[in-house]
Amino acid sequence: MPVYEYECTNCGKKFSQTERMSEHGKRKVRCPKCNSDKVVQRVSTFFAITSKKS
């Protein structure tokens, strides 16, 4: 499951949340610190684990 990163524009708290791709965007994300719904999604890095080729 992907991890999405957010930042609260009310208190400035940065946090991440694991969501299924099918669930992403269907419900309002709330800040875990101040419970505000004024959060914006941040661009985050990702990595992929691949097998080595011989």
Domain range holding 29? Answer: 3-42
User: Which one has a higher pLDDT value, 7 or 21?
Assistant: 7
Q: What is the CATH number of the domain that holds 8?
A: 2.20.28
13 in a structural domain: yes
User: Which one has a higher pLDDT value, 49 or 34?
Assistant: 34
User: Which one has a higher pLDDT value, 47 or 17?
Assistant: 17
pLDDT for the residue numbered 5: 93
Domain count, the chain: 1
pLDDT for the residue numbered 32: 95
Whether pTM > 0.85 for this model: the answer is no
Q: Which of 31, 49, 42 is nearest to 4 (CA)?
A: 42
32 in a structural domain: yes
Q: What is the DSSP letter of 37?
A: S
Question: pLDDT by residue (tens digit) across 17-43?
Answer: 888 878 777 888 999 999 999 999 998
22 in a structural domain: yes
Q: Which of 52, 9, 49 is nearest to 31 (CA)?
A: 9
